[in-house]
Amino acid sequence: MATPLGAPSLLLTLALAAGAPLQEPERADKPPSGRDQRALLEALFALDPVSVEDQAAVRARLAPYGELPAPTGTKRKKLLAAIEKAWRAQDPLPKKAGEYWYWDEPQKGRYFVAGKVKKPKGLFIGLHGGGVGSADASGAHGAFKAAAAKRDWVAIFPQAIEATERGWVDAGTEEWIVGLIDQARRTYGVPADRIYIGGHSMGGFGSWTLGAHHADLFAAAVPSAGAPSPIYNRDGTIYGMETGVIPNLRNLPMCVFQSTDDPRVPPDVNQAAVRDVRRARTRWDGYEDFEYWEVSDRGHGYPEGGTDALLDRIDGFVRQPHPTKITWQPTVPWKTRFYWLDWPAPRMDALVIAEVDAEANAIAITTDGFGVEGLSVLLTPELLDLDEEVSITVDGEEVYKAIPTTSWAVFVESALSCDPGRRFEAQVTLPR
């Protein structure tokens, strides 16, 4: 039966994978304070959270503190205040609505800021349409800005860095959008549980796929006249959707709009995606707030009522940061955390189902049978009683049963997001 593994063991795993000498990090006998704490936080925030290498560097920096308990009481409050102060010192976004370029030389990363920039009630990420050679954020900006402002949301309309058919998930663009969300939270004071994503045409594709890849960040998604990428049979019929979409959407509220007379985005792909969602609901349950809104007379346009009608369908949803059941199919190497699962080197296109039984104080992991080496479960009192024994099974076999040991390193690493919904006390690495 396995025992809890802390940050030092994770570091050894990473070092072994990289061919580095296998050695235990020097263990600290107390957490850093004062100048040492400020230096540590400065070093951690200098690392890129969407870089696999920098994620490993964060773990390495925190490894000496892996066996120290997570802070409590006044020490916890002071540490969280120090983390937030360091987080807020990072680069902000412009504090006024307008058109901007994220990078000046060469000029790229065009985006618009609109809506309520002071104490907004939410954040809307609006994705434009287009395709090869066509990427213009002004279209989404013009279409959605008034509807977002009506709800007292701040809205950001990024422009895909490269104009391709899959521009929203191209390397560089996807990382940038995740970073924009973090900067928007910091700059405008956006509530972490009220972040929404939507778009039309290719922006609908982006809403499906980015919404799925990062379902743990969003409160809801609203794709319009756009669909995930299908996989076709040899006879031209649709076999299913690309990996990493349907399973990941189990806990994300979503409204998909489609007109059957759309000459640019025919309804067959969205209809097939909806069938896959229904099959997934039968297989894993969940998807309670998934809505398919089909009409027959809007062509490639918006529904009657325009974008305001679209946002009406998702307004009011709040992110559920700790769902008691997760389905995760990793498809982005640097997306290593999904709700309360952590996988520093995720196996692409694996399928993991994780379910909490609060009454039994247990978690059951079901896999696709090809192994989940390095996968960890992140623990919080929001899910289980950490003062009692926690049981974890993998494919029916109990691999852990113990009272979890909290970790200063785990707590700090998760607290760097300054998102209470992604803050954890302990971590258990599965043995296989």
Specify whether the backbone of 152 is left (phi greater than 0), alpha (psi in -120 to 50) or beta: left
Residue 355 vs residues 63, 287, 343: alpha-carbon distances, Å: 28, 15, 16
Query: 416 near 83, Cβ under 8 Å?
Result: yes
In single-letter form, the type of residue at position 307 comes to: T
| Residue percentage of the chain with pLDDT more than 90 | 89
49 cis-preceded (ω within 30 degrees of 0) = no
Calculate the alpha carbon distances from 164 to 14, 185, 333, 380 in Å. Answer: 34, 28, 21, 41
Q: Quote the CA–CA distance of 177 and 169 in Å, as a whole number.
A: 10
Q: What is the mean pLDDT of residues 206-230?
A: 97
Give the pLDDT score at 345.
95
pLDDT in the model for residue 13: 42
pLDDT level of residue 133 (50, 70, 90 thresholds): confident
Q: Which amino acid is at 204?
A: G
Closest CA to 158 of 192, 206, 217: 206
pLDDT of residue 106: 84
pLDDT of residue 99: 97
User: Of all helices (H) and strands (E), which one includes residue 238?
Assistant: strand 238-241
Other residues' Cβ atoms within 10 Å of the Cβ of residue 30: 8
Q: Is the pLDDT confidence value at 15 over 50?
A: no
Task: Report the C-alpha gap between 11 and 15 in whole angstroms.
Answer: 6
For residue 148, count other CB atoms closer than 10 A to its CB. 27
Q: Phi, psi at residue 248, to the nearest 5°? A: -70, -15
Longest dimension (CA), the chain: 68
Tokens 């049978």 appear where?
369
Compute, in degrees rounded to 10, the torsion defined by CA atoms 77, 79, 85, 87. -120
The answer on pLDDT for 124 being more than 90 is yes
Determine how β-strand 195-200 pairs with β-strand 325-328: unpaired
Dihedral sign (CA 150, 155, 159, 165): negative
pLDDT of residue 428 exceeding 90: yes
- At 338-391, the pLDDT tens digits run 999 999 999 999 999 999 999 999 999 999 999 999 999 999 999 999 999 999
Q: Domains of the chain by range and CATH?
A: 7-88 (no CATH), 98-312 (3.40.50.1820)
**Torsion angles phi and psi, residue 271, rounded to 5:** -65, -40
Task: Provide the whole-model pTM.
Answer: 0.93
